[in-house]
Amino acid sequence: MTNRVPILMYHQVSPQPVAAFAKYTVTPQAFAAQMTWLRLAGYTPITLDALLAYRRSDHRQPRRPIVITFDDGFQGCVEYAVPILQAKGFTAAFYLVAGLMGKTSAWLAAERGVTFPLMDWATARRLLAAGFQCGAHTLSHPRLANLDAATCHDELWTARRVLADQLGLEVRHLAYPFGSFNERVRTLAAETGYHSACSVEIGFSTPEDDPLALRRIPVNGQDSLLDFICRLRTAYPFAESWRSKTASLRRQLRTVGGYSTR
């Protein structure tokens, strides 16, 4: 297994991005092109459980492993991203806000003046049955680092318990809302039973990483396919250092139709 494994971070997938959340919204067309590129480039999506297991063992592993994650549990991801993933035979992890299942993203009303519908429990169960993974995104999507220890513990512990009760599984994986965590939050995540936790710090997962502070690669809604490819290689979008390589990349991109290579 390569020492650097990209963990992609998505939020919303929708054909009509809302301006206030456009940075975090990928269109179905763009998402399909990105997944097509992953297949053409030989990537193999794996679960978070597999990533942790590979880090601990010498078992044979995929040549180009990658982890695909979705924060928040938006219904749009179920409607538009899941069929594309299934068509490719790809797995992914969905981080769910346990106290808001089947409701709307209330935290975005205050943050950005918009809300989106969230998947309900029945939908989450169908995802699990289809081979996808579900993790916790806390109970109410707060900034954990701003909470006192007792409230933070409750957000982490109760989310894990509610998800376990509703979905019938041991919940081992967490994503910190807003990427908000510190050493106290990390300790509480370990104490409440999480095996991994994803941050929003940009970078690749490496064997040296703390599994409770995993770095990810954000997928920006305004990214071109070339930006996406650069993120897979450098963790960042297109930069001057890549200009000399664009000619060959653009030729390859023509095999992925209907997507801008600006």
With tokens 């993790």, the residue in question is 135
* Closest to 9 in 3D by CA, of 158, 217, 236: 217
Amino acid at 124: A
pLDDT in tens, 180-216: 999 999 999 999 999 999 999 999 999 899 999 999 9
pLDDT in tens, 209-246: 999 999 999 999 999 999 999 999 888 876 534 554 56
**CATH code 2.40.50.140 for 7-253:** no
pTM score of the predicted model: 0.90
Q: How many whole angstroms separate alpha carbon 2 and alpha carbon 68?
A: 17
Alpha helices in the chain (DSSP H): 28-40, 48-56, 75-76, 82-88, 106-112, 121-129, 149-167, 183-191, 225-234, 246-253
pLDDT in tens, 102-135: 999 999 998 899 999 999 999 999 999 999 999 9
| Residue 20 confidence (pLDDT) | 95
Domain boundaries, given as residue ranges, for the chain: 7-253
SS3 261: coil
